[in-house]
Every structure is written in C-alpha cells, then in structure tokens.
Structure 1
Amino acid sequence: MITAVHDGGHHFLREAYTSLRDQELPSGWEWEWCLQEDGDSGVVECLPPDERVLPGSGLPGRAAVARTMALARATGSIVRTLDADDVLLPGALARDIEALGRVAWCTSACVDLLPDGSTRPGPYDPPPGPVPPGRFYAEQLDDRLSVQANTFAAHTDLVRALGGWPALTGAETVGLLLAAEAVAAGEFIAEPSVLYRKHDAQTTAADRYWDKAESAARLESVLARADALRRSGWHWQSG
C-alpha cells in the first residue's frame, strides 16, 4: 500500500489505518503500508505502532514525489494506492489480489464520502471486467474519466518499469493509470473498494489546483506519456 501525506492532510490517517488493518487477505498474503510524508513535520507519528507500517519523510515535492519515494521501500509483488484521507472497504485488497492473478493492473469503483457522513456512488462507472485497450485514455481525452485513479493497483514491477508516479503537481494517479493501460491489460472491479472522502481541505478542493494553464499542462503531459509508450510498441510481461 502506497500513501502520500502532508502536514495538515493527516487528520484522517488513523481511520485509513484501521480500514487497512481490518482487511482480510487470502491465505499466504500480508500487507505493508509504505507511508511517505511530503516534508519533515513528523505527522506520521500519529499512527499506533505497527511493524507493517513503513513510514518515511523527506524534502517536499508534492504527492507524486512522495508516492515514488514510498515505492522505494515496497517489498511486495503488488502495490496499491490509498489516499491519506480515504477509507478502504471490506474485501478491497482481496479483490485486487484476485484480479492481479489475471492481469497486470486493475482499478475499481469507489463511493464518495460527503462531509455530512452520507455517501453516493460514482457517477458513471465502466462495465466490470477487462478494460478495452485505450478506453481510459479516450475518456481522459474527453475530460470524462470514468474511474477514480486512486483505486489503482498493479504488479510492483510494472509500476517500477514505468518510473512510478510522474513528477507532476497533480493528476499523477491518472498519469500512472494511463501509462499502465498503454503497455498492459487491466480490469475494472465493479464492487467499490474505497470511501473517497470529500472535504474542503483536500488538495483538489483548492482553487489553485485547478489553475487553467497548469491543469492543462498536467493532462497534456500524462496523455503524451501514454502516447509515447503506445507508439514504442513495448508491452509489459510479468517476470
């Protein structure tokens, strides 16, 4: 499990940890949580002691850099993203493991968790099962991506081969999803895997995040990366 967190964005970490701790995994599987603070304030110390939690910190570089730094500590064969303010739903990791026995990567449905505690499903989930090649790329080109890319899970070797999360000021989860889609087959899991928390302090709620020129540059970058990978003709194969 890979999580980036910053000072001020750590207030829901304990709830995220509890949802991870309570996951039931198939026989022979274990989880580890590679948690990277974007900075050096020590906010990860709010978590209870657990040898499966592998915290780190370093120079601030935003979420993409923190995620890729956390990846350096990952020892498992599969990685999945978890935002610091989200909550895993029961069975999420077991379903990922099952899917990744067939394909290189997967993503899944999620449920919005609103500030008043109510929930609502995603607005337009794709059909369950194999994802047609280029589907998510085409959706992003139309600014209508049908999944939350922070539900992404994949073989660790694939993520490393792609260089981790692109060093952008945002949309790094979309960037990794589209890169993976360009070189390997994936699946969509229709059963929700996470409560996606909506609140005023989240990064994407800030007006500055949606600066028109910067947002356009981020999306141009992730689409260009996927284009280049697809043109290269390279296809990832599990070792």
Structure 2
Amino acid sequence: MRTISVITAVHNGGHQFLGDVYESLREQKLPDDWQWQWCVQEDGTSGIPANSLPDDPRITLGTGLPARIAVTRTHALARATGELIRTLDADDMLLPGALERDIETLERVPWCVSACVDLHEDGSTAPGPYDPPGGPVEPGRFYREVMEGRLSVQAVTFAAHRRLVLALGGWQALSGAETVALLLAAEAVAPGEFIAEPSVLYRKHPNQTTASDHYWEPTEAATRIEALLQRASALRELGWAWH
C-alpha cells in the first residue's frame, strides 16, 4: 500500500476538535492501493490531547518540548512514512475526496494547494473569496502576492511529495506563517497546482492562533514575513530545483 501522511500539530487546550478531524479522515475514500497515516504531534508533553483520539493503528502520536507549531509539525514529519505529505490543522476538517484529489494531483506535480470553505461558529459556511483559477500555478504567483501583503490561498491546504518537504527543511522555524513559508519555498523550486474544489472546512473561532491580537503585533508579523520571503528568494537565487 502507498501512503499519504497527514501532519497535525496540537497543544493541550486546543484539542477539542480532534474527534471531528479524525472522523473527516476516516470518511476519506482513497484509491484502492492507497492508505492514510495521521501523524499527530503535541506542542508540549502533557499527553492530554492523545486522550481525544481513538485506538487506530493509522494514528501515530508524539509529544515534545513546547516550541510552537512549526517545530511541532517538523517533529511529526520525522515519523511520517508516506511518500506524500498533507498538512491538516487540529481544528479543521477534510471535505470528501480531499486526499484523493491531492494524490491525483501529486502524480503530476511535486506540490499543490486547494480551495477551502470557512466554517463559522454559528455553523454557516463561506467560500474563500480570492481563490485563483484551478490548474497549474503561475511561477512566483504566491511569492508576489505575499510581497503585496495578500495571499489568495490558505497555505494550510498544502500537500507535497515527502522528499520535497524534507529537502526544504520542513516547516520554517517561525512563530507563525510556517505553512506560507513552506508553500513559498516549494514554489521557488518546483511547479505546483491549485485544486479549485474545496478540501477543508476551515474553522473560524476566537481561540485560533491567528485570532489573537498578539499574533498580529506589527514588528513580530513583519519579521515572520521577511524571514520566509528571504528563504524563498535565496532558493531562487541559488538555482536549486526539484527533479
């Protein structure tokens, strides 16, 4: 069986939706010769988030010193056995067919991102307002968008070949925007595609990291963006490319 490894970082107190995440994974229909693996890593050592998960051999659990989500995801990556990697937040849910579409797309290109649907606290949903057209991504598109202070996709939908993610060093060690950093790094060295059909219910709630005013402190936020842009620029300038 071929495997797609789903990477989820979680912290004690942010695990209340893990049951929903698992159900969305369990309901995924994959090609006959494929299976999923769920690599769940706690940002901390309480072990409490693990209690929200069922006894399923497809789930691998880990804990570690608190270091924020980028480091946590990269630690989970070390346990991933799949040839493909998919990011999934601990408060989001995969929509039907999400992994199957990732697998199909990654037969053609090294990485992809997809549309998502916002899920509000009242249960209402809304599509992403700035989705690009489906199909191949114009080289440098997302880099230019970040330079302009916008991004037309949710980078948390990122999926890629595991070897590419490893070669790029996993998720850049930032205090946030680590999925954007990985997306721009992949874009710098390899072609990708955007899947227009939504893959995720992106849960909007007041306890999510990006809802915090402190997360958007101007100096901190600007430093994150500058660091990820510098890495993507360096990769382009060095001429390294995925083969």
In the aligned structure 1, how far is the partner of 2:51 from the partner of 2:153? Answer: 32
In the aligned structure 2, how far is the partner of 1:111 from the partner of 1:226? Answer: 27
Deviation readout 1:33-63 (Å, 9 max, x if unpaired): 0000000111122111000000100100000
Determine which of 196, 199, 204 is the counterpart of 2:205: 199
In the aligned structure 1, how far is the partner of 2:37 from the partner of 2:138? Answer: 31
What residue number does 2:19 align with?
14
Mind listing any 5+ residue stretches in structure 1 that lack a counterpart? none
Mind listing any 5+ residue stretches in structure 2 that lack a counterpart? 1-5
What residue number does 1:58 align with?
64
Specify the SS of the correspondent of 1:123: coil
In the aligned structure 1, how far is the partner of 2:214 from the partner of 2:167? Answer: 32
Q: Are positions 1:151 and 2:162 aligned together?
A: no
What residue number does 1:168 align with?
174
Specify the SS of the correspondent of 1:115: coil
Compute the displacement of 1:211 (Å).
Answer: 0.6
Compute the displacement of 1:135 (Å).
Answer: 0.2
What residue number does 1:3 align with?
8
Q: Are positions 1:36 and 2:41 aligned together?
A: yes
Number of aligned positions between the proteins: 237
In the aligned structure 1, how far is the partner of 2:96 from the partner of 2:202? Answer: 14
Specify the SS of the correspondent of 1:31: strand
What residue number does 1:24 align with?
29
Deviation readout 1:112-140 (Å, 9 max, x if unpaired): 00000000000110010000100000001
Determine which of 124, 127, 130 is the counterpart of 1:121: 127
In the aligned structure 1, how far is the partner of 2:241 from the partner of 2:38? Answer: 29
Compute the displacement of 1:216 (Å).
Answer: 0.1
In the aligned structure 2, how far is the partner of 1:211 from the partner of 1:9? Answer: 22
